[in-house]
Structure 1
Protein backbone atom coordinates (compact mmCIF):
# COMPACT_ATOMS: atom_id res chain seq x y z
CA UNK A 1 0.00 0.00 0.00
CA UNK A 2 1.34 3.50 -0.83
CA UNK A 3 2.49 5.75 1.98
CA UNK A 4 1.84 9.49 2.17
CA UNK A 5 3.70 11.34 4.89
CA UNK A 6 3.14 14.86 6.19
CA UNK A 7 5.79 16.26 8.49
CA UNK A 8 5.13 19.46 10.46
CA UNK A 9 2.99 20.82 7.62
CA UNK A 10 1.37 24.24 7.80
CA UNK A 11 -0.55 26.17 5.14
CA UNK A 12 -0.99 29.92 5.52
CA UNK A 13 -3.65 32.13 3.91
CA UNK A 14 -2.87 33.77 0.59
CA UNK A 15 -0.84 36.92 1.02
CA UNK A 16 0.90 35.75 4.18
CA UNK A 17 4.22 34.02 4.61
CA UNK A 18 5.93 31.71 7.05
CA UNK A 19 6.85 33.59 10.22
CA UNK A 20 4.25 36.35 9.77
CA UNK A 21 1.36 36.59 12.23
CA UNK A 22 -1.54 34.78 10.55
CA UNK A 23 -4.07 32.12 11.41
CA UNK A 24 -2.96 29.01 9.49
CA UNK A 25 -5.43 27.14 7.30
CA UNK A 26 -3.61 24.00 8.43
CA UNK A 27 -1.37 24.03 11.47
CA UNK A 28 1.67 21.76 11.95
CA UNK A 29 0.20 18.46 10.81
CA UNK A 30 2.24 15.28 11.07
CA UNK A 31 0.53 12.23 9.57
CA UNK A 32 1.30 8.87 7.97
CA UNK A 33 -1.47 7.90 5.54
CA UNK A 34 -1.18 4.23 4.64
CA UNK A 35 -4.66 2.69 5.02
CA UNK A 36 -6.56 1.61 1.92
CA UNK A 37 -9.55 3.87 2.67
CA UNK A 38 -9.24 7.12 4.60
CA UNK A 39 -12.10 9.59 4.98
CA UNK A 40 -11.67 13.21 6.05
CA UNK A 41 -14.58 15.01 7.68
CA UNK A 42 -15.04 18.47 9.11
CA UNK A 43 -17.08 21.62 8.86
CA UNK A 44 -16.87 23.90 5.84
CA UNK A 45 -13.72 25.97 6.18
CA UNK A 46 -12.06 23.52 8.56
CA UNK A 47 -9.15 22.85 6.18
CA UNK A 48 -10.07 19.41 4.88
CA UNK A 49 -10.02 20.35 1.17
CA UNK A 50 -6.70 22.13 1.69
CA UNK A 51 -5.35 18.94 3.23
CA UNK A 52 -6.37 16.91 0.18
CA UNK A 53 -4.78 19.37 -2.25
CA UNK A 54 -1.46 18.88 -0.49
CA UNK A 55 -1.46 15.18 -1.26
CA UNK A 56 -0.70 15.43 -4.97
CA UNK A 57 1.09 18.75 -5.07
CA UNK A 58 -1.84 20.90 -6.22
CA UNK A 59 -0.91 22.95 -3.16
CA UNK A 60 2.51 23.13 -1.52
CA UNK A 61 2.98 23.56 2.23
CA UNK A 62 4.33 26.82 3.62
CA UNK A 63 6.21 24.85 6.25
CA UNK A 64 7.11 21.18 6.47
CA UNK A 65 7.09 18.48 3.80
CA UNK A 66 4.63 16.19 2.06
CA UNK A 67 5.98 13.01 0.47
CA UNK A 68 4.34 10.24 -1.55
CA UNK A 69 6.33 7.01 -1.43
CA UNK A 70 9.37 9.14 -0.62
CA UNK A 71 8.78 11.71 -3.39
CA UNK A 72 8.61 15.28 -2.10
CA UNK A 73 5.64 17.08 -3.66
CA UNK A 74 7.67 20.32 -3.81
CA UNK A 75 10.57 18.72 -5.68
CA UNK A 76 8.94 15.93 -7.69
CA UNK A 77 5.47 17.34 -8.43
CA UNK A 78 5.01 15.77 -11.87
CA UNK A 79 6.07 12.32 -10.63
CA UNK A 80 3.74 12.63 -7.65
CA UNK A 81 0.79 13.61 -9.86
CA UNK A 82 1.34 10.53 -12.00
CA UNK A 83 0.89 8.46 -8.85
CA UNK A 84 -1.92 10.45 -7.25
CA UNK A 85 -5.13 11.12 -9.20
CA UNK A 86 -7.34 13.95 -7.97
CA UNK A 87 -11.13 14.21 -8.38
CA UNK A 88 -12.56 17.69 -7.80
CA UNK A 89 -15.91 18.45 -6.20
CA UNK A 90 -17.15 20.13 -9.39
CA UNK A 91 -16.59 17.85 -12.40
CA UNK A 92 -16.98 20.79 -14.83
CA UNK A 93 -13.65 22.09 -13.53
CA UNK A 94 -12.11 18.77 -14.55
CA UNK A 95 -13.86 17.67 -17.75
CA UNK A 96 -12.17 19.76 -20.45
CA UNK A 97 -13.36 18.02 -23.63
CA UNK A 98 -16.82 18.15 -25.29
CA UNK A 99 -17.74 14.55 -24.42
CA UNK A 100 -16.82 11.95 -21.85
CA UNK A 101 -15.26 9.73 -24.51
CA UNK A 102 -13.02 12.60 -25.63
CA UNK A 103 -11.97 13.28 -22.04
CA UNK A 104 -11.07 9.67 -21.27
CA UNK A 105 -9.14 9.42 -24.55
CA UNK A 106 -7.26 12.61 -23.64
CA UNK A 107 -6.27 11.06 -20.32
CA UNK A 108 -4.98 8.00 -22.16
CA UNK A 109 -3.02 9.89 -24.82
CA UNK A 110 0.38 9.66 -23.14
CA UNK A 111 -0.10 6.01 -22.24
CA UNK A 112 -1.74 4.67 -25.43
CA UNK A 113 -0.25 6.24 -28.56
CA UNK A 114 -2.23 4.52 -31.32
CA UNK A 115 -5.57 6.23 -31.89
CA UNK A 116 -7.65 3.08 -32.41
CA UNK A 117 -6.08 1.37 -29.41
CA UNK A 118 -6.77 4.47 -27.35
CA UNK A 119 -10.40 4.49 -28.45
CA UNK A 120 -10.78 0.82 -27.54
CA UNK A 121 -9.11 1.38 -24.16
CA UNK A 122 -11.41 4.34 -23.46
CA UNK A 123 -14.49 2.32 -24.33
CA UNK A 124 -13.33 -0.47 -22.03
CA UNK A 125 -12.98 1.94 -19.10
CA UNK A 126 -16.29 3.64 -19.82
CA UNK A 127 -18.04 0.29 -20.11
CA UNK A 128 -16.58 -0.88 -16.80
CA UNK A 129 -18.09 2.18 -15.11
CA UNK A 130 -21.47 1.71 -16.83
CA UNK A 131 -21.02 4.95 -18.80
CA UNK A 132 -20.51 3.78 -22.37
CA UNK A 133 -24.02 4.76 -23.49
CA UNK A 134 -23.33 8.31 -22.26
CA UNK A 135 -19.86 8.55 -23.80
CA UNK A 136 -20.81 10.68 -26.81
CA UNK A 137 -23.20 13.08 -25.10
CA UNK A 138 -22.10 16.62 -24.41
CA UNK A 139 -20.90 16.87 -20.83
CA UNK A 140 -23.46 19.70 -20.46
CA UNK A 141 -26.25 17.25 -21.23
CA UNK A 142 -25.23 14.96 -18.38
CA UNK A 143 -26.57 15.18 -14.85
CA UNK A 144 -24.26 16.30 -12.07
CA UNK A 145 -23.88 12.71 -10.94
CA UNK A 146 -23.11 11.47 -14.44
CA UNK A 147 -20.49 14.18 -14.86
CA UNK A 148 -18.88 13.23 -11.57
CA UNK A 149 -18.67 9.57 -12.56
CA UNK A 150 -17.28 10.58 -15.96
CA UNK A 151 -14.60 12.72 -14.29
CA UNK A 152 -13.73 9.81 -12.02
CA UNK A 153 -13.39 7.54 -15.07
CA UNK A 154 -11.01 10.02 -16.72
CA UNK A 155 -8.82 10.14 -13.62
CA UNK A 156 -8.80 6.35 -13.21
CA UNK A 157 -7.98 5.83 -16.90
CA UNK A 158 -4.28 6.37 -16.23
CA UNK A 159 -4.25 3.86 -13.33
CA UNK A 160 -2.96 6.05 -10.50
CA UNK A 161 -1.84 4.19 -7.40
CA UNK A 162 -3.67 6.64 -5.15
CA UNK A 163 -7.02 8.35 -5.68
CA UNK A 164 -7.79 11.58 -3.83
CA UNK A 165 -11.40 12.80 -4.07
CA UNK A 166 -12.71 16.06 -2.67
CA UNK A 167 -16.37 15.60 -1.68
CA UNK A 168 -17.11 13.31 -4.64
CA UNK A 169 -20.70 12.63 -3.59
CA UNK A 170 -21.80 16.27 -3.20
CA UNK A 171 -23.60 16.41 -6.57
CA UNK A 172 -24.91 12.85 -6.46
CA UNK A 173 -28.43 11.65 -5.71
CA UNK A 174 -29.02 8.66 -3.47
CA UNK A 175 -28.76 6.11 -6.27
CA UNK A 176 -25.50 7.49 -7.65
CA UNK A 177 -24.05 7.91 -4.16
CA UNK A 178 -24.66 4.21 -3.54
CA UNK A 179 -23.09 3.49 -6.91
CA UNK A 180 -20.01 5.57 -6.06
CA UNK A 181 -19.64 3.81 -2.72
CA UNK A 182 -19.70 0.43 -4.50
CA UNK A 183 -17.10 1.64 -6.99
CA UNK A 184 -14.84 2.90 -4.20
CA UNK A 185 -15.19 -0.40 -2.35
CA UNK A 186 -14.04 -2.35 -5.41
CA UNK A 187 -11.17 -0.18 -6.65
CA UNK A 188 -7.62 -1.42 -6.01
CA UNK A 189 -6.26 2.08 -5.36
CA UNK A 190 -5.68 3.64 -1.99
CA UNK A 191 -8.47 6.23 -1.68
CA UNK A 192 -8.48 9.34 0.48
CA UNK A 193 -11.67 11.40 0.33
CA UNK A 194 -13.54 14.18 2.04
CA UNK A 195 -17.27 13.97 2.57
CA UNK A 196 -20.17 15.42 4.55
CA UNK A 197 -22.00 12.09 4.14
CA UNK A 198 -21.26 10.28 7.38
CA UNK A 199 -22.52 6.94 6.03
CA UNK A 200 -20.00 7.31 3.20
CA UNK A 201 -17.28 8.24 5.70
CA UNK A 202 -18.10 5.12 7.71
CA UNK A 203 -16.97 2.98 4.75
CA UNK A 204 -13.36 4.00 5.48
CA UNK A 205 -10.91 2.15 7.68
CA UNK A 206 -9.68 5.40 9.19
CA UNK A 207 -11.34 8.79 9.62
CA UNK A 208 -9.61 12.11 10.19
CA UNK A 209 -11.70 14.82 11.85
CA UNK A 210 -10.39 18.27 10.90
CA UNK A 211 -11.32 21.30 12.97
CA UNK A 212 -9.75 24.73 12.76
CA UNK A 213 -6.84 23.48 10.69
CA UNK A 214 -5.89 20.75 13.15
CA UNK A 215 -6.65 17.05 13.46
CA UNK A 216 -9.24 16.91 16.22
CA UNK A 217 -9.58 13.11 16.05
CA UNK A 218 -7.87 10.32 14.15
CA UNK A 219 -9.12 6.77 14.40
CA UNK A 220 -11.60 4.13 13.39
CA UNK A 221 -14.85 5.27 11.80
CA UNK A 222 -17.19 4.61 14.71
CA UNK A 223 -15.17 6.51 17.28
CA UNK A 224 -14.11 9.27 14.88
CA UNK A 225 -17.63 9.97 13.66
CA UNK A 226 -18.95 10.03 17.23
CA UNK A 227 -16.25 12.57 18.01
CA UNK A 228 -17.18 14.61 14.94
CA UNK A 229 -20.89 14.62 15.84
CA UNK A 230 -20.06 15.76 19.35
CA UNK A 231 -17.79 18.49 17.98
CA UNK A 232 -20.34 19.67 15.43
CA UNK A 233 -23.19 19.72 17.97
CA UNK A 234 -21.10 21.37 20.66
CA UNK A 235 -21.44 18.50 23.11
CA UNK A 236 -17.73 17.77 23.29
Structure 2
Protein backbone atom coordinates (compact mmCIF):
# COMPACT_ATOMS: atom_id res chain seq x y z
CA UNK A 1 0.00 0.00 0.00
CA UNK A 2 1.29 3.46 -0.89
CA UNK A 3 2.05 5.63 2.13
CA UNK A 4 -0.09 8.79 2.42
CA UNK A 5 1.61 12.02 1.33
CA UNK A 6 3.28 13.94 4.14
CA UNK A 7 3.29 17.66 4.90
CA UNK A 8 0.43 18.36 2.58
CA UNK A 9 -2.91 20.06 3.09
CA UNK A 10 -5.46 19.78 0.28
CA UNK A 11 -8.78 21.62 0.11
CA UNK A 12 -10.67 20.59 -3.00
CA UNK A 13 -13.73 22.52 -4.25
CA UNK A 14 -14.77 23.35 -0.67
CA UNK A 15 -18.09 25.07 -0.02
CA UNK A 16 -19.14 26.17 3.45
CA UNK A 17 -21.99 28.31 4.75
CA UNK A 18 -22.64 29.57 8.26
CA UNK A 19 -26.03 30.91 9.41
CA UNK A 20 -27.19 30.92 5.82
CA UNK A 21 -24.23 33.02 4.66
CA UNK A 22 -21.66 31.53 2.27
CA UNK A 23 -18.13 31.53 3.65
CA UNK A 24 -16.43 29.56 0.87
CA UNK A 25 -17.76 28.64 -2.55
CA UNK A 26 -15.49 26.28 -4.46
CA UNK A 27 -12.27 26.98 -2.53
CA UNK A 28 -9.30 24.87 -3.62
CA UNK A 29 -5.91 25.21 -1.94
CA UNK A 30 -2.81 23.05 -1.49
CA UNK A 31 -0.22 23.78 1.22
CA UNK A 32 3.11 21.97 1.33
CA UNK A 33 5.32 24.54 3.06
CA UNK A 34 6.53 24.24 6.65
CA UNK A 35 5.51 27.77 7.68
CA UNK A 36 2.34 29.28 6.20
CA UNK A 37 0.63 32.51 7.24
CA UNK A 38 -3.03 33.35 6.57
CA UNK A 39 -4.07 37.01 6.55
CA UNK A 40 -7.15 39.05 5.73
CA UNK A 41 -9.77 41.34 7.22
CA UNK A 42 -12.28 40.24 9.85
CA UNK A 43 -14.89 38.02 8.25
CA UNK A 44 -12.60 36.97 5.40
CA UNK A 45 -12.88 33.29 6.37
CA UNK A 46 -9.52 32.84 8.10
CA UNK A 47 -10.79 31.15 11.26
CA UNK A 48 -13.23 28.98 9.33
CA UNK A 49 -10.32 27.87 7.14
CA UNK A 50 -8.35 26.81 10.21
CA UNK A 51 -11.35 24.91 11.58
CA UNK A 52 -11.81 23.13 8.27
CA UNK A 53 -8.16 22.06 8.24
CA UNK A 54 -8.42 20.87 11.84
CA UNK A 55 -11.55 18.88 11.01
CA UNK A 56 -13.66 20.81 13.51
CA UNK A 57 -15.99 21.91 10.71
CA UNK A 58 -17.22 19.67 7.91
CA UNK A 59 -17.52 21.30 4.48
CA UNK A 60 -20.94 21.40 2.86
CA UNK A 61 -19.24 20.29 -0.34
CA UNK A 62 -15.75 19.22 -1.26
CA UNK A 63 -12.98 17.60 0.73
CA UNK A 64 -10.26 18.58 3.18
CA UNK A 65 -7.28 16.27 3.59
CA UNK A 66 -4.21 16.68 5.77
CA UNK A 67 -1.34 14.32 4.95
CA UNK A 68 -3.84 12.10 3.17
CA UNK A 69 -6.37 12.06 6.04
CA UNK A 70 -9.96 13.19 5.50
CA UNK A 71 -10.03 15.22 8.72
CA UNK A 72 -13.81 15.70 8.83
CA UNK A 73 -14.57 11.99 8.54
CA UNK A 74 -11.66 10.31 10.33
CA UNK A 75 -11.58 12.19 13.61
CA UNK A 76 -9.26 9.73 15.41
CA UNK A 77 -6.64 10.10 12.71
CA UNK A 78 -7.24 13.85 12.50
CA UNK A 79 -6.43 14.52 16.15
CA UNK A 80 -3.21 12.55 15.72
CA UNK A 81 -2.25 14.68 12.73
CA UNK A 82 -3.50 18.21 13.50
CA UNK A 83 -3.54 20.36 16.61
CA UNK A 84 -5.07 23.81 16.96
CA UNK A 85 -4.32 26.70 19.29
CA UNK A 86 -7.16 29.21 19.64
CA UNK A 87 -7.05 32.91 20.47
CA UNK A 88 -8.84 32.47 23.80
CA UNK A 89 -7.49 29.61 25.96
CA UNK A 90 -10.70 29.56 27.97
CA UNK A 91 -12.50 28.36 24.82
CA UNK A 92 -10.08 25.43 24.69
CA UNK A 93 -9.53 24.37 28.30
CA UNK A 94 -12.26 22.07 29.62
CA UNK A 95 -10.80 20.41 32.73
CA UNK A 96 -10.19 21.92 36.18
CA UNK A 97 -6.59 20.78 36.68
CA UNK A 98 -3.46 20.98 34.55
CA UNK A 99 -2.92 17.22 34.63
CA UNK A 100 -6.45 16.44 33.47
CA UNK A 101 -6.23 18.97 30.67
CA UNK A 102 -2.95 17.56 29.40
CA UNK A 103 -4.11 13.95 29.73
CA UNK A 104 -7.44 14.33 27.95
CA UNK A 105 -6.11 14.48 24.41
CA UNK A 106 -3.68 11.66 25.11
CA UNK A 107 -6.37 9.25 26.24
CA UNK A 108 -8.39 10.29 23.18
CA UNK A 109 -5.45 9.01 21.13
CA UNK A 110 -5.78 5.63 22.81
CA UNK A 111 -2.99 5.88 25.37
CA UNK A 112 -3.57 4.03 28.62
CA UNK A 113 -3.91 6.10 31.78
CA UNK A 114 -0.39 5.11 32.80
CA UNK A 115 1.00 6.09 29.40
CA UNK A 116 -0.89 9.39 29.51
CA UNK A 117 0.41 10.16 33.01
CA UNK A 118 3.98 9.46 31.89
CA UNK A 119 3.65 11.78 28.90
CA UNK A 120 2.03 14.49 31.06
CA UNK A 121 5.01 14.30 33.42
CA UNK A 122 7.43 14.47 30.49
CA UNK A 123 5.59 17.46 28.98
CA UNK A 124 5.65 19.41 32.24
CA UNK A 125 9.36 18.67 32.57
CA UNK A 126 10.04 19.74 28.97
CA UNK A 127 8.70 23.19 29.76
CA UNK A 128 10.13 23.39 33.28
CA UNK A 129 6.62 23.43 34.78
CA UNK A 130 6.78 20.43 37.09
CA UNK A 131 5.27 22.63 39.81
CA UNK A 132 2.06 22.80 37.75
CA UNK A 133 1.31 19.13 38.47
CA UNK A 134 -2.11 18.95 40.13
CA UNK A 135 -2.57 22.72 39.90
CA UNK A 136 -6.01 24.24 39.37
CA UNK A 137 -6.21 25.89 35.96
CA UNK A 138 -8.02 28.90 37.45
CA UNK A 139 -4.85 29.82 39.34
CA UNK A 140 -2.92 30.29 36.09
CA UNK A 141 -2.55 33.67 34.43
CA UNK A 142 -3.85 34.31 30.91
CA UNK A 143 -0.39 33.77 29.44
CA UNK A 144 0.09 30.60 31.47
CA UNK A 145 -3.22 29.23 30.18
CA UNK A 146 -2.04 29.94 26.63
CA UNK A 147 1.10 27.96 27.41
CA UNK A 148 -0.97 25.12 28.89
CA UNK A 149 -2.99 24.90 25.66
CA UNK A 150 0.21 24.79 23.63
CA UNK A 151 1.61 22.10 25.92
CA UNK A 152 -1.56 20.05 25.50
CA UNK A 153 -1.26 20.29 21.71
CA UNK A 154 2.43 19.39 21.68
CA UNK A 155 1.90 16.44 24.03
CA UNK A 156 -0.18 14.85 21.28
CA UNK A 157 2.72 15.19 18.81
CA UNK A 158 0.76 16.36 15.74
CA UNK A 159 2.60 16.97 12.48
CA UNK A 160 0.63 20.19 11.87
CA UNK A 161 -0.29 22.94 14.32
CA UNK A 162 -2.87 25.59 13.47
CA UNK A 163 -2.52 28.94 15.22
CA UNK A 164 -5.65 31.10 15.28
CA UNK A 165 -4.51 34.52 16.57
CA UNK A 166 -2.63 32.89 19.47
CA UNK A 167 -0.95 36.09 20.70
CA UNK A 168 -3.99 38.37 20.89
CA UNK A 169 -4.26 40.13 24.25
CA UNK A 170 -0.93 38.87 25.61
CA UNK A 171 1.70 41.07 27.21
CA UNK A 172 4.95 41.44 25.29
CA UNK A 173 7.02 39.12 27.49
CA UNK A 174 4.51 36.26 27.18
CA UNK A 175 4.16 36.83 23.44
CA UNK A 176 7.93 36.69 22.96
CA UNK A 177 8.17 33.53 25.06
CA UNK A 178 5.44 31.70 23.13
CA UNK A 179 6.78 32.91 19.80
CA UNK A 180 10.24 31.57 20.64
CA UNK A 181 8.75 28.16 21.48
CA UNK A 182 6.70 28.06 18.29
CA UNK A 183 9.57 29.21 16.09
CA UNK A 184 11.74 26.34 17.29
CA UNK A 185 9.15 23.62 16.66
CA UNK A 186 9.78 21.05 13.92
CA UNK A 187 6.05 20.83 13.16
CA UNK A 188 4.40 22.60 10.25
CA UNK A 189 2.68 25.80 11.40
CA UNK A 190 -0.34 27.38 9.72
CA UNK A 191 -0.72 30.77 11.38
CA UNK A 192 -3.89 32.87 11.10
CA UNK A 193 -3.07 36.39 12.23
CA UNK A 194 -3.58 40.14 11.92
CA UNK A 195 -0.01 40.63 13.21
CA UNK A 196 1.89 40.79 9.93
CA UNK A 197 5.21 41.03 11.75
CA UNK A 198 4.62 37.59 13.26
CA UNK A 199 5.03 36.08 9.77
CA UNK A 200 8.64 37.18 9.32
CA UNK A 201 10.65 34.24 8.08
CA UNK A 202 7.60 32.29 6.90
CA UNK A 203 7.67 30.36 3.63
CA UNK A 204 4.30 31.43 2.24
CA UNK A 205 1.38 33.76 2.97
CA UNK A 206 -2.21 33.29 1.80
CA UNK A 207 -4.47 36.37 1.73
CA UNK A 208 -8.19 35.72 2.03
CA UNK A 209 -10.92 38.22 1.26
CA UNK A 210 -14.62 37.33 1.41
CA UNK A 211 -13.78 33.64 1.25
CA UNK A 212 -11.58 33.97 -1.84
CA UNK A 213 -7.82 33.77 -2.22
CA UNK A 214 -6.70 37.16 -3.56
CA UNK A 215 -3.01 36.81 -2.77
CA UNK A 216 -0.77 33.77 -2.40
CA UNK A 217 2.99 33.46 -2.47
CA UNK A 218 6.15 34.91 -0.99
CA UNK A 219 5.36 36.73 2.30
CA UNK A 220 7.04 40.03 1.40
CA UNK A 221 5.08 40.41 -1.84
CA UNK A 222 1.71 39.29 -0.47
CA UNK A 223 1.97 41.39 2.69
CA UNK A 224 3.02 44.48 0.69
CA UNK A 225 0.01 44.06 -1.61
CA UNK A 226 -2.28 43.54 1.40
CA UNK A 227 -0.98 46.69 3.12
CA UNK A 228 -1.46 48.70 -0.05
CA UNK A 229 -5.03 47.43 -0.49
CA UNK A 230 -5.94 48.16 3.14
CA UNK A 231 -4.47 51.65 2.83
CA UNK A 232 -6.53 52.25 -0.31
CA UNK A 233 -9.69 51.02 1.40
CA UNK A 234 -8.99 53.27 4.38
CA UNK A 235 -8.80 56.26 2.04
CA UNK A 236 -12.26 55.39 0.77
CA UNK A 237 -13.67 54.48 4.16
CA UNK A 238 -16.83 56.49 3.68
CA UNK A 239 -18.00 54.30 0.81
CA UNK A 240 -16.30 50.95 1.36
CA UNK A 241 -16.56 50.29 5.11
Question: By the TM > 0.5 criterion, same fold?
Answer: yes
* SS, match of residue 25 in structure 1: strand
Quote the offset at 1:235 in angstroms: 6.2
For 2:8, the equivalent position in structure 1 comes to 3
Question: In 2, are the aligned partners of 1:87 and 1:155 still within 8 Å (CA)?
Answer: yes
Is the Cα–Cα contact under 8 Å of residues 40 and 195 in structure 1 kept in the other structure?
A: yes
More helix by share: 2
Residue number in structure 2 paired with 1:28 = 26
CA contact (8 A) 1:208 1:218 kept: yes
Q: Does the CA-based 8 Å contact 2:204-2:217 persist in structure 1?
A: yes
Q: Alignment partner of 1:192: what SS?
A: strand
Count of equivalent residues: 228
**CA distances 1:161-194 after superposition (whole Å, capped 9, x unpaired):** 1111211111321112111221112111111121
Structure-2-length-normalised TM-score: 0.86
In structure 2, the residue matched to 1:19 is: none
Secondary structure, aligned partner of 1:107: helix
Three-state SS of the structure 2 residue aligned to 1:51 is helix
Q: Per the alignment, do residues 230 and 134 of structure 1 end up closer, same or farther by CA in structure 2, a change over 3 Å counting?
A: farther
Moved over 4 A (4+): none
Q: Deviations over 1:197-235 (max 9, x none)?
A: 111122421111111111111111111111221122226
The separation in 1 between residues aligned to 2:96 and 2:72, in whole angstroms, is 33
CA change 1:88–1:235 in 2 (3 A) is closer
Q: Distance in 1 between matches of 2:55 and 2:152?
A: 19
**What are the superposed Cα offsets for residues 30-72 of structure 1, whole Å, 9 maximum, x if unpaired?**
1111111111111111110001110021111122211122222
RMSD: 2.0
Q: 1:7 to 1:137 in 2, by over 3 A?
A: same
- What corresponds to 1:225 in structure 2? 223
Instruction: Provide the residue aligned with 1:20 in structure 2.
Output: none
Conserved 8 A contact 1:131-1:150: no
**TM-score (norm: length of structure 1):** 0.88
- Residue 74 of structure 1 and its aligned partner are, at CA, apart by 3.8
Q: Which runs of 5+ in 1 are unaligned?
A: 17-22
**CA–CA distance in structure 1, aligned partners of residues 146 and 100 of structure 2:** 15
- Deviations along 1:108-139, one digit per CA (max 9) or x if unpaired, are 33454253x54342122123234333444322
